[in-house]
Amino acid sequence: FASEIVLNLETISNLASRNRENAVKVKEVLSTTKFKLKIIDDVDGLEICGLIKNINAIANGICEGMSINENARYGILTKGFEETKKIVESIGGDASTAEEYCGFGDLVLTSTSSESRNHTLGMLYGQRIIVDEKASGIVFEGKNSIMAIKDICRNTNTESVIVDFVYDVIVKQIPPKIAFKSLWDNILN
């Protein structure tokens, strides 16, 4: 989280660039003994991972808000990781980018931390405290992420039960328990 970077706490992240020489220069400027950067060349994959982590965080938050058991939540997190690889690949990215800090690392951090705004948003939906984001007056980046990723999945014919679950709850306003049943029934597809 940015709050930890500001506090000069240990952090590791990816830096993506199509120009390795420039990436090395940026890495030299930004890296410290506590802030580590690993260069990758999959810019598109990194960007998609940044969107998908928000969706996974919302999904896990919804499930936690509904008091879904931990085994199921971590199964859903694992499915989210699998689907991240598929979606990255569907846009021409490298599926292995999902295994980087920008992928797996951010996905787990954002999906399980109480500091994550999107995880919190999901919990509020799961507890039915928020039913309609507009009416609540609360704006989270995850809403835009779900719309963008849903379009990508539609345009690339990529199925994602996690994206569908979050889309159903937030955009279609389907009650979380009903949407969860569909997610769970299709988790192994």
Residues noted as catalytic: 53
Instruction: Dump the DSSP string for 5-58.
Output: HHTT--EEEEEE-S-HHHHHHHHHHH--SSEEEEEES-HHHHHHHHHHHHHHHH
The β-bridge partners of 11 are 35
The residue behind tokens 């931390």 is 113
Tokens representing 37 are 């950067």
* Helices and strands: H and E segment counts in the chain: 10, 2
